[in-house]
C-alpha cells in the first residue's frame, strides 16, 4: 500500500501490550499518519514509552492519545469506550490485541464471575467494540475491526455448556486460553454477518509466535520476526483488497486455510454473540426488520 491508501483516515485505535506486535505496528502506522492515534492499555505507564518512541518521527498532524482500559472490568471498558467518542465522530480502524495467556490459577472477574481468559481476551473487546461501532460505521472507507487471535484456536471450541470450567473445578489453563482465541475468530464472523451490509469489515489475525519480553525467541514455537507479525495486522487493517474476505482469518500475511469449523461456524458466532450480551448485560441489535442485515444500531440493557 501507499501512504495515500491510509493518510486520510481519521482515527486508529489499538489495544496495546509492550510485548505485542502492536508495539512495532505503531511505527508502521506513523508512515501513513492518521489524524488521531489512540493507544489503549490497562496501565498508562505501558503506553508512555511507545508514545515517546514514535513521537519524534510522527507526523505533526497526528495526535497521539493514551487510553486507560482494563478489559477485566466492564465498568472500565464502558468508561474507556466513551472517550474516543468524545474525541472524534469517526473511527477507521480498531485493533483488539491485548490478551492474557496460560494463567495458572483460576480467577474470575468481579462482580460478573467470568473466567479471566475469556473476560480479557474476548468479553472486554466485545463490549468495547460494540460501544464504538457507531463511529466505525461513519468511516468514509469501510470501518475495520481486527481481532487478534493465535493458533491456539485449533485446540478448543467455545465451551458453551461449561464456559467457566465448573467454577474452576475442571480448570485447564491452555483450554481456557484456547477457547478465548476461538471466540476472537467467531467475533469477526459475527461482525461480518451483522454489519457487513453496512460496509464494516472484520478479520481475525494470527500473528504467529514471536519474541518474548526479553527479545529472545520462544523455543517451543516456530517464531516470526516482529515485521512478519505486523504484516498480518497491516493487511487486516488497511489492505483495500481484503473486502471479499470479510470475517475471515489472516495468518502469515495471507488468508488462512484450514481454519477448523468450530472457529468459523456462523451458528456458533451467533450463539456466542447472544451469550456475551447476557454476560455484559446489554444487547447490541443490528437489524433490518427481523434480520441482522443493515446494521441499524439498537442498544438495550438486560
pLDDT digits (tens, 9 = 90+) for 174-189: 999 999 999 999 999 9
Cross-strand pairs, 206: 251
Write down the pLDDT at residue 58. Answer: 81
CB atoms within 10 A of CB 116: 18
Confidence grade of residue 27 (pLDDT, cut at 50, 70, 90): low
Confidence grade of residue 31 (pLDDT, cut at 50, 70, 90): low
What are the residue ranges spanned by the domains of the chain?
A: 3-301
CA distance 3 to 68: 29
Compare 2 and 157 and report the one with higher pLDDT: 157
CATH superfamily of 3-301: NAD(P)-binding Rossmann-like Domain (3.40.50.720)
Out of 106, 153, 171, 177, the active site residue is: 177
Compare 171 and 56 and report the one with higher pLDDT: 171
pLDDT digits (tens, 9 = 90+) for 83-138: 999 999 999 999 999 999 999 999 999 889 999 999 999 999 999 999 999 999 99
Tell me the three state secondary structure of residue 172: coil
Q: H/E/C letters for each residue in 200-237?
A: CEEEEEECCECECCCCCECCCCCECCHHHHHHHHHHHH
- Give the containing element (helix H, strand E) for 23: helix 22-29
Model's pTM, two decimal places? 0.87
Write down the pLDDT at residue 249. Answer: 96
Copy the grid coordinates of residue 288: 433490518
Percent of the chain with pLDDT strictly greater than 90: 66
Write down the pLDDT at residue 285. Answer: 79
Write down the pLDDT at residue 223. Answer: 61
CA distance 90 to 96: 17
Copy the grid coordinates of residue 292: 441482522
- Is 177 designated active site? yes
pLDDT digits (tens, 9 = 90+) for 201-221: 999 999 886 554 444 555 555
Amino acid at each position: 500500500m501507499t501512504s495515500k491508501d491510509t493518510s486520510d483516515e481519521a482515527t486508529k485505535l489499538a489495544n496495546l501490550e509492550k510485548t505485542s506486535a502492536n508495539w512495532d505496528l505503531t511505527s508502521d502506522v506513523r508512515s501513513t499518519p492518521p489524524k488521531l492515534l489512540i493507544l489503549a492499555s490497562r496501565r498508562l505507564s505501558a503506553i508512555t514509552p511507545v508514545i515517546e518512541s514514535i513521537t519524534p518521527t510522527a507526523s505533526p498532524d497526528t495526535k497521539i492519545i493514551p487510553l486507560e482500559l482494563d478489559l477485566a472490568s466492564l465498568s472500565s471498558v464502558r468508561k474507556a469506550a466513551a472517550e474516543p467518542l468524545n474525541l472524534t465522530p469517526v473511527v477507521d480502524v480498531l485493533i483488539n490485541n491485548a490478551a492474557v495467556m496460560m494463567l495458572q490459577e483460576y480467577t474470575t472477574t468481579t462482580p460478573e464471575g467470568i473466567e479471566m481468559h475469556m473476560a480479557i481476551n474476548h468479553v472486554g473487546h466485545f463490549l468495547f467494540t460494540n460501544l464504538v461501532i457507531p463511529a466505525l460505521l461513519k468511516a468514509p472507507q469501510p470501518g475495520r475491526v481486527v481481532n487478534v487471535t493465535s493458533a491456539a484456536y485449533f485446540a478448543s471450541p467455545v465451551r458453551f455448556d461449561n464456559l467457566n470450567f465448573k467454577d474452576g473445578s475442571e480448570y485447564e489453563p491452555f483450554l481456557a486460553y484456547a477457547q478465548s482465541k476461538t471466540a476472537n475468530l467467531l467475533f469477526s464472523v459475527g461482525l461480518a454477518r451483522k454489519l457487513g451490509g453496512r460496509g464494516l469489515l472484520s478479520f481475525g489475525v494470527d500473528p504467529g509466535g514471536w519474541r518474548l519480553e526479553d527479545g529472545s525467541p520462544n523455543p517451543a514455537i516456530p517464531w516470526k520476526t516482529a515485521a512478519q507479525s505486523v504484516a498480518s495486522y497491516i493487511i487486516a487493517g488497511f489492505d483495500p483488497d481484503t473486502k471479499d474476505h470479510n470475517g475471515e482469518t489472516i495468518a502469515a500475511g495471507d488468508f488462512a486455510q484450514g481454519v477448523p469449523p468450530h472457529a468459523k461456524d456462523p451458528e456458533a458466532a451467533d450463539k456466542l454473540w447472544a451469550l456475551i450480551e447476557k454476560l455484559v448485560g446489554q444487547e447490541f441489535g443490528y437489524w433490518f426488520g427481523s434480520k441482522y442485515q443493515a446494521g441499524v444500531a439498537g442498544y438495550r440493557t438486560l
